[in-house]
Copies of this chain bind each other. A is one copy, B any other.
Amino acid sequence: MKIKIAMIGFGNVGQGITRILHAERQTLLIDHGFDFEIVGIFGRSKGSVLAAEKGTDTSQVLKSFDSQGDLLALDGADSELTAMDIIERSGADILLEMSPTDLETGQPAIDYIKAAFKQNVHVVTCNKGPVALAMHELLELAEEKELQFLFEGSVMAGSPVINLATQNLAGAGITSFKGILNGTTNFILTRMKQGADYQAALAEAKDLGYAEADPTNDVEGYDAAAKGVILSNLLTGAETTLNDVACTGISHLTIEDIESAREKGQIIKVLVEADLCEAMPEISVGPVHLPLDDPLAAINGAMNAITFETKILGPVTISGPGAGREETGFAMLADMLQIHKMNG
């Protein structure tokens, strides 16, 4: 039976997951028994499509998008459709929630996710907002209906950090973690180490698409803080919020700071650090001096990495991409495969 997939959002990640699904259709079917159709897409500026009856195919979606830059050439396309129309009327089995991130309210994603659960639809998201702000509420709502709510892509894109922490390392006793979880600031610090000043490095990050026009969430540490909150709450069951995180930005850093660290055999990295031993995790984000032989010291450019300190294994570090359309799309595919496996 084909798994019916609906998507909220057809930006970078929506396009990325569509291209992966398209390229991997045969492999997914043969290796995982995973067959699918697209029953709806809400694409804010790119038109929407509702195909509850006969479903549409990734080839048709990509044909419309690649030829005219929107989805309006598809059967069932309608620029008046709302996200809620797609959620309530597409008959999806899995909703891919990819709306813009709002770290203050988590909306509109939280409402979308709740609406999906009401329709008995599993949800996969890469959106930090709803996960940082309402993880436990949403997990409980899902559990009440025996549904899955998965969000591997919310931290380090497709690098399997959440699976590593919650499944592979669960029994090892994670007591703390520290990570480079924001690619923009790591890119800026890497360029500053190579001699660029802060403003020039930031401008370059914007040119390359690493930094947004308004880079506040990245350079002030809020993006990294949200990821720290997600991992801490997931690993401990606590309900810390962004307000509990001590955040220091990097806009005050000078080349002299970088140079002075180098003279001491150190490197400055923006780290998210969390101590999970107390009832309430203690989380901080900010520039930290690291010795050069720390595995995180060698993480350059837009790469991300995280070290979990464990009771049984000592430190375990994973590094990989922290962003990217296909890289994040892959996380959503991995989550869908997990849902398929658990419900197959």
Contacts and interface: CB of A to CB of B under 8 A. Distances in A.
Interface in A20-34: 20, 24, 27-28, 31
Contacts of A319: 295, 315-318
A93 interface: no
A163 interface: yes
A84 interface: no
Contact of A293 (B170, B298, B312, B314): B298
Contacts of A81: none
Contact of A315 (B294, B297, B313, B320): B320
Report copies per complex: 2
A313 B330 contact: yes
Which residue of A27, A31, A295 has the most chain B CB atoms within 10 A of its CB atom?
Answer: A295
Contacts of A168: 160, 163-164, 168, 334
A186 to B, nearest CB: 12
Q: Chain A interface residue count: which class?
A: 35 or more
Interface in A311-335: 312-321, 326-327, 330, 333-334
Contacts of A24: 171
B294 A171 contact: no
A159 interface: yes
Contacts of A293: 298, 300
A179 to B, nearest CB: 13
A67 to B, nearest CB: 25
Given A159-B313, A298-B298, A330 B292 contact: no
Nearest to A333: B171
A238 interface: no
Contact of A330 (B27, B299, B312, B321): B312
A320 B313 contact: yes
A337 interface: yes
Interface in A31-56: 31
A136 to B, nearest CB: 18
Contacts of A20: 312
Which residue of A294, A319, A320 has the most chain B CB atoms within 10 A of its CB atom?
Answer: A320
A172 B327 CA distance: 9
A158 interface: yes
Contacts of A196: none
The 3 closest A-B pairs by CB, nearest first: A160-B168, A316-B320, A298-B298
Interface of A: 20, 24, 27-28, 31, 157-160, 163-164, 168-172, 292-295, 297-300, 305, 312-321, 326-327, 330, 333-334, 337
6 contacts: A27-B171, A160-B164, A171-B333, A293-B298, A314-B320, A318-B319
